[in-house]
DNA sequence: CACCAGGAATGTA
DNA sequence: TACATTCATGGT
């Protein structure tokens, strides 16, 4: 067992199955609706406190906006009002609207989108405004069950602290984790969640 | 009251 | 390539 597999086992032993905010993202299998919720949350959670994401999500649910198609049928202005608590709301409304438009118009559903090659999907997502590597990979991993390892600030801190690498570049770290782990989306989902949970628990 | 959270785009040198 | 700034709300 290598360093990365050991690290996963340690975190798993310490925190168990990822809960709280992660119970949905790490749920398997997810319903169609749950996958779409993950896509929406992937945008809302950018540089935001999860509590604020929940407030925004509740606003959407109260307004019966539960799908990407619902989002696409809204105006950006109305969307912005609902997601206001998540911060950067004008920018996020714009990002989320265009992401929904992209998925609905090009694929119609996440189930059909999932059939496309992972690298191609990643390129397409990265071409959209407001979607960088972490958000793109979060959507691929948690909404489409594609085996791509998500890198974030907590991952960088952990890699730095454990001295697993000196280069903290996104693509480098992603490749580092992927080449040292079994290519399994379930492992990637839980591992990344545990890294964030561990990072937030102080220390 | 100051600080900051699952980022990403834009501007400057 | 490498930083600095901007976007914004609500929790602590």
- Residue A115: inside a domain, yes or no? yes
Judge whether residue A86 contacts strand B, using its CB and a 7 Å cut-off.
no
Alpha helices in A63-200 (DSSP H): 68-72, 76-82, 89-106, 110-113, 118-126, 133-138, 153-161, 170-180, 185-200
Angle at A161 between CA A199 and CA A198, to 5 degrees: 15
Same domain, A192 and A111: no
In angstroms, the CA of A128 and the C1' of B9 are apart by 11
Please give the helix or strand (H or E) that residue A88 lies within, else none: none
Same domain, A35 and A87: yes
Judge whether residue A191 contacts strand B, using its CB and a 7 Å cut-off.
no
- Residue A70: inside a domain, yes or no? yes
Tokens of A81: 């009002």
Say how many residues make up chain A: 203
pTM of full prediction above 0.85 = yes
CATH number at residue A91: 1.10.340.30
Domain residue limits at A186: 3-19+149-201
Of all nucleotides in the shown strands, which has a C1' nearest the CA of A86? C9
Domain count, chain A: 2
pLDDT digit string (tens) for chain A, length 203 residues: 999 999 999 999 999 999 988 999 999 999 999 999 999 999 999 999 999 999 999 999 999 999 999 999 999 999 999 999 999 999 999 999 999 999 999 999 999 999 999 999 999 999 999 999 999 999 999 999 999 999 999 999 999 999 999 999 999 999 999 999 999 999 999 999 999 999 999 75
- Residue with minimal CA–C1' distance to C6 is A88
């Amino acid at each position: 067992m290598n360093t990365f597999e050991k690290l996963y086992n340690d975190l798993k032993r310490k925190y168990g199955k990822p809960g709280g905010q992660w119970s949905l993202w790490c749920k398997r299998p997810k319903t169609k609706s749950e996958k779409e919720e993950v896509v929406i949350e992937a945008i809302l959670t950018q540089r935001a406190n999860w509590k604020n994401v929940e407030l925004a999500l509740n606003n959407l649910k109260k307004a019966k906006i539960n799908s990407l198609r619902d989002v696409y049928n809204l105006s950006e202005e109305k969307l912005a009002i609902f997601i206001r608590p998540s911060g950067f709301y004008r920018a996020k409304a714009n990002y989320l609207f265009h992401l929904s438009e992209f998925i609905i118009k090009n694929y119609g559903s996440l189930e059909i989108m999932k059939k496309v090659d992972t690298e191609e999907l990643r390129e397409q997502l990265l071409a959209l405004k407001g979607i960088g590597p972490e958000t793109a990979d979060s959507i691929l991993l948690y909404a489409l069950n594609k085996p791509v390892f998500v890198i974030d600030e907590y991952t960088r801190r952990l890699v730095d602290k454990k001295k697993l690498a000196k280069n903290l570049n996104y693509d480098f770290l992603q490749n580092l984790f992927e080449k040292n782990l079994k290519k399994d989306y379930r492992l990637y989902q839980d591992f990344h969640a545990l890294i964030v949970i561990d990072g937030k628990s102080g220390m």
